[in-house]
Amino acid sequence: MCGIIGYTGDRDCVGIILRGLERLEYRGYDSAGLAVLEDGRVDIRKAQGRLSNLAELVKASPVRGNIGIGHTRWATHGEPSYINAHPHADANQRLAIVHNGVIENSYTLRQGLAQKGIAFISETDTEVVAQLLGYYHTGEMLTTLYRVLPMLEGSFALAILDRERPDTIYCARKGGPLIVGRGAGGSLIASDIPAILSYSRDIFFLGEAEIGAVTPEGVSFYDSLGNPLEKTSVHIDWDIDAAEKDGYPHFMLKEIHQQPKVLEETLRHYVDMEKLAVRRERMPFTPAEAKALRRLTLIGCGTAYYAGLMGQSLIRRLARLRADCEIASEFRYSEPLIEADEAFIAISQSGETLDTVAALRLAKAAGRPVIALCNVIGSTVAREADQLMYTLAGPEIAVASTKAYSAQALTLMILALDLAHLRGHMTTAELKTALRALGEIPGQAERLLGQKERIQYFASRHFNCKKIFFIGRLEDYYLAMEAALKQKEISYIHSEAYSAGELKHGPLALIEEGALVIALATQSRVLDKTMSNLLEAKARGGKVVAVGQSPTPELLAAAEVWELPAADERFAPLLGAIPMQLFAYYMALQLGRDIDKPRNLAKSVTVE
Ligand code: AGP
C-alpha 574/C-alpha 413 separation (Å) is 10
Q: Which range, of 9-18, 47-56, 497-506, 549-558, averages the lowest pLDDT?
A: 549-558
The reply to whether domains 243-439 and 448-593 share a CATH topology is yes
| Confidence (pLDDT) at 479 | 97
| Confidence (pLDDT) at 241 | 59
Topology of 448-593 in CATH?
Answer: Rossmann fold (3.40.50)
Q: Whose CA is nearest to atom 9 of ligand 1?
A: 302
The predicted model gives 557-582 an average pLDDT of 94
Shortest-distance atom of ligand 1 to CA 356: 16
248 in Cβ contact with 254 (< 8 Å): yes
* Ramachandran angles phi, psi of 378, nearest 5°: 80, 0
C-alpha 438/C-alpha 63 separation (Å) is 55
Q: Is 96 helix (H, G, I), strand (E, B) or coil?
A: strand
Shortest-distance atom of ligand 1 to CA 605: 10
The yes-or-no verdict on residue 39 having pLDDT over 70 is yes
Query: Over pLDDT 90: what percentage of the chain?
Result: 74
The predicted model gives 84-94 an average pLDDT of 94
| Confidence (pLDDT) at 117 | 94
Q: pLDDT tier at 556 (50, 70, 90 boundaries)?
A: confident
| Confidence (pLDDT) at 240 | 62
401 lines ligand 1 (CB under 6 A): yes
Q: Is 252 helix (H, G, I), strand (E, B) or coil?
A: helix
DSSP string, 207-231: PTT-EEEEETTEEEEE-TTS-EE--
Ligand 1 centre distance from Cα of residue 255 (Å): 15
| Confidence (pLDDT) at 439 | 96
C-alpha 353/C-alpha 358 separation (Å) is 9
66 lines ligand 1 (CB under 6 A): no
C-alpha 215/C-alpha 167 separation (Å) is 6
Q: Classify the C-alpha dihedral 513-543-459-571 as positive or negative.
A: positive
549 lines ligand 1 (CB under 6 A): no
Q: How many CB atoms lie within 10 A of CB 104?
A: 14
Q: Is the pTM of this model over 0.85?
A: no
CATH-assigned architecture of domain 243-439: 3-Layer(aba) Sandwich (3.40)
Shortest-distance atom of ligand 1 to CA 300: 16
The yes-or-no verdict on residue 102 having pLDDT over 90 is no
304 lines ligand 1 (CB under 6 A): yes
Ligand 1 centre distance from Cα of residue 318 (Å): 27
CATH number of 3-237: 3.60.20.10
The more confident residue out of 351 and 558 is: 351
302 lines ligand 1 (CB under 6 A): yes
Active-site positions read: 2, 603
288 in Cβ contact with 279 (< 8 Å): no
The predicted model gives 115-141 an average pLDDT of 94
177 lines ligand 1 (CB under 6 A): no
| Confidence (pLDDT) at 247 | 77
99 in Cβ contact with 72 (< 8 Å): no
* Ramachandran angles phi, psi of 92, nearest 5°: -90, 5
What residue spans define the domains of the chain? 3-237, 243-439, 448-593
Average pLDDT, the chain: 92
Which of the given ranges, 221-225, 304-308, 501-505, has the highest pLDDT on average? Answer: 304-308
The yes-or-no verdict on residue 10 having pLDDT over 90 is yes
Residue to substitute in 327, 347, 353, 397 for testing ligand 1 pocket (most ligand atoms within 8 angstroms of CB):
353
| Confidence (pLDDT) at 276 | 97
| Confidence (pLDDT) at 13 | 96
